Chain A
Amino acid sequence: MGFEKFGPKSFTAQTRVAEFADKLAAGEICATRCVRCRRVYFPPRADCVSCLGNSMEWEKIPEKGKLVSYTRVQYPPAGFEADAPYTLALVDFGEVKVFGRLSNAVEEAGIKVGREVKPVVLTTPDGQLTYEFVLI
């Protein structure tokens, strides 16, 4: 339990990487790194597909990334009506890529593939923990 706190709307409560949500509560957005072979994972994984190890350590993702792509969702899926419109984005941080939302404070005209962004932690009005990207 614990992971249901993550994301604007959670579909999963139990996972061995539930500590991700605790890290978010502490203001950190973390990837997991395999203690044995050092491979890094985002989304965080409990199991290493390279060496089959399952001893992981948490590691903060870099401060700065580049926008790989984005889209402004006008017609959302059921359950997200109150959030729309919102911008989904994929950001490349070098070793890992991260999927999430771009801050609604960013004007659409200012968004461009390749733009530098940084992730910030936030709590939604209904108390969910999440992160979003803002322009640097």
Chain B
Amino acid sequence: MSRDVAIIGVGQTKFTRNYQGSLREMVFEAFAEALRDAGITAREIGASLICSAPEYDKQRSPAGLLAEYLGLNPQPTFVLESICSSSTTGVRVGYSLIKAGLHDVVAVIGFQKMSEISSAESQERMGRGADIMWEAPFGSMMPAYYAMHAQAHFARYGTTEEDLALIRVKASKYGALNERAVFRKELTVEQCLNSAVVSSPLKVYDCCANADGASCLILANADRAKAISAKPVWILGLGAASETMSLTGREALDGLRAARLAAREAYQMAGLTPGEIDVAEVHDCFTIAELMAYEDLGFAEPGKGVELIRNGQTSLGGRIPVNVDGGLLSKGHPIGATGGSQVRTIVLQLRGEAGPMQVPGAEIGLVHNIGGVGIYSNVIILGR
């Protein structure tokens, strides 16, 4: 089990519909919180990895701008992108830079200000995160792709719309507890089932909330982590994989192969099994995505994920609490900030600082962060 790189500081803005300030100001909020949390200054950061999906940014080449505003010149800075999994890709690259000995301390900064463009416009841009020659011309978009996965899962395993509604009800319960979440209302199964259809069988409440937000993680090597931090959280395992962008290249649609491969690699590196995970953050951009994650991560056999949600096993007090911070569904999904926010939640859980969302005694946590419809997948296992 590797204990070479730790997370020593975490920060996140409140996720909101429309951040009342500029992009740089929003990112500064998360960065300042992470620096204070780590107890270091910007000068001690060897490199900054700026994680965002640039199609939503008005600012071109944001790394340069942000390094300036955050006081991170003249250290190296660059952008990393894997759509919704950009900031866990940042963790992977940050880990590598530190392991390679190039830097002792690295900042992974994720953000998106989704309100800079309209919702329809953002759907169209997300659609172009699919093959623009052979799929986007038909009017494809993210909800439709996940809806096709849901339909395939329904057909193969008998999963129902009610099962998906239970996932949203759970997310809304914890979103209501999370002061940083964009969606604070508790929802009922009926409200979920009666919400308007976006792309069948997915309805409005099966879809995550677009949000503005930023996250920041400070990574350090073992020497610096031990010197600086009272409660370092160690990166025990990392896994990453990719899958064909076009659905035509996929074996099946009832799970995400890249997630299964990334999970296997992360478990192997950490020397842990799914049963040893105490708390998990999974990429629930849509309710069906959380259900597939249960199965792809090995929390349940393929087709048996529904039993976890039906029996409350993924709620607080259950066998493996999942997304007890509201998840993307209720906490919100500012694309580039999401992975960093998921990692932050797990870090707080492992430090015992998750407040009303705390999983008592959590020692091992897992983050599952997906880019696009399973195109990119990062799984990270953390331990205290």
Chain A contact residues, CB within 8 Å of chain B:
3, 6-12, 15, 42-43, 68-80, 83-84, 86, 88, 90, 96-101, 108, 112-114, 130
Q: Within the assembled complex, what's the spacing in Å between the Cα atoms of A96 and B249? A: 8
B338 at interface by CB-CB < 8 Å: no
Q: Which one of B83-91, B100-108, B124-132, B323-331 is at the interface?
A: B124-132
**B21 contacts which chain A residues (CB < 8 A)?**
none
| Closest residue on chain B to residue A72 by CB atoms | B200
Chain A nearest Cβ from B208, distance in angstroms? 14
27 contacts between A and B (CB under 8 A): A3-B133, A8-B137, A8-B138, A10-B137, A11-B128, A43-B131, A43-B133, A43-B134, A69-B148, A69-B151, A71-B150, A71-B199, A72-B199, A74-B196, A74-B199, A74-B200, A76-B139, A77-B120, A77-B123, A78-B123, A80-B139, A88-B139, A88-B140, A98-B248, A101-B138, A101-B139, A108-B200
1/0 per residue, CB under 8 A from A, across B135-149: the answer is 111111101100111
| Further 19 A-B residue pairs, CB within 8 A, beyond A9-B139, A72-B200, A99-B135 | A8-B139, A11-B137, A68-B253, A70-B148, A71-B144, A74-B200, A75-B196, A77-B120, A77-B124, A78-B118, A88-B138, A88-B199, A97-B247, A99-B138, A99-B140, A99-B248, A101-B138, A113-B154, A130-B138
Please tell me if the beta carbons of A68 and B152 are within 8 angstroms of each other in the complex.
Answer: yes
| Closest residue on chain A to residue B153 by CB atoms | A69
**A74 contacts which chain B residues (CB < 8 A)?**
196-200
**A77 contacts which chain B residues (CB < 8 A)?**
120, 123-124, 126-127, 139-141
Chain A nearest Cβ from B180, distance in angstroms? 27
Chain B nearest Cβ from A7, distance in angstroms? 3
**A75 contacts which chain B residues (CB < 8 A)?**
123, 143, 196, 198-199
**If the complex has contacts A10-B137, A101-B138, are A114 and B247 also in contact, measured as CB distance less than 8 A?**
no
Please tell me if the beta carbons of A78 and B120 are within 8 angstroms of each other in the complex.
Answer: yes
Please tell me if the beta carbons of A83 and B139 are within 8 angstroms of each other in the complex.
Answer: yes
| Closest residue on chain A to residue B120 by CB atoms | A78
Q: Within the assembled complex, what's the spacing in Å between the Cα atoms of A77 and B131? A: 15
Chain B nearest Cβ from A110, distance in angstroms? 14
Q: Within the assembled complex, what's the spacing in Å between the Cα atoms of A48 and B197? A: 40
**If the complex has contacts A43-B131, A68-B152, A98-B248, are A79 and B138 also in contact, measured as CB distance less than 8 A?**
no
| Closest residue on chain A to residue B202 by CB atoms | A71
Chain B contact residues, CB within 8 Å of chain A:
118, 120-121, 123-124, 126-128, 131-141, 143-144, 147-152, 154-156, 196-202, 246-250, 253
Please tell me if the beta carbons of A71 and B139 are within 8 angstroms of each other in the complex.
Answer: no
Chain A nearest Cβ from B248, distance in angstroms? 4
A9, A69, A84: the one within 8 Å of B253 (CB): A69
Q: Within the assembled complex, what's the spacing in Å between the Cα atoms of A25 and B133? A: 17
**If the complex has contacts A11-B132, A43-B248, A88-B148, are A71 and B200 also in contact, measured as CB distance less than 8 A?**
yes
| Closest residue on chain B to residue A132 by CB atoms | B138
**A83 contacts which chain B residues (CB < 8 A)?**
139
Please tell me if the beta carbons of B148 and A71 are within 8 angstroms of each other in the complex.
Answer: yes
Chain A nearest Cβ from B240, distance in angstroms? 21
**If the complex has contacts A75-B143, A80-B139, A88-B148, are A96 and B132 also in contact, measured as CB distance less than 8 A?**
no
A7, A98, A99, A114: the one within 8 Å of B155 (CB): A114
| Closest residue on chain B to residue A17 by CB atoms | B133
**B198 contacts which chain A residues (CB < 8 A)?**
73-75
- Between A8, A75, A80, A90, the greatest number of chain B beta carbons within 10 A of the residue's beta carbon is seen for A75
Q: Within the assembled complex, what's the spacing in Å between the Cα atoms of A73 and B196? A: 12
- Between A9, A71, A84, the greatest number of chain B beta carbons within 10 A of the residue's beta carbon is seen for A71
A68, A84, A99: the one within 8 Å of B246 (CB): A99
Please tell me if the beta carbons of B138 and A76 are within 8 angstroms of each other in the complex.
Answer: no
Please tell me if the beta carbons of A88 and B155 are within 8 angstroms of each other in the complex.
Answer: no
**A11 contacts which chain B residues (CB < 8 A)?**
128, 132-133, 136-137
Q: Within the assembled complex, what's the spacing in Å between the Cα atoms of A43 and B136? A: 13
A42, A70, A78, A96: the one within 8 Å of B151 (CB): A70
**A10 contacts which chain B residues (CB < 8 A)?**
137
Please tell me if the beta carbons of B133 and A12 are within 8 angstroms of each other in the complex.
Answer: yes
The 4 A-B residue pairs whose C-beta atoms are closest, nearest first, are A7-B137, A113-B155, A80-B139, A71-B147
**B144 contacts which chain A residues (CB < 8 A)?**
71, 73, 88
**If the complex has contacts A12-B133, A90-B247, are A78 and B138 also in contact, measured as CB distance less than 8 A?**
no
Q: Within the assembled complex, what's the spacing in Å between the Cα atoms of A108 and B199? A: 12
| Closest residue on chain A to residue B141 by CB atoms | A77
Please tell me if the beta carbons of A99 and B134 are within 8 angstroms of each other in the complex.
Answer: yes
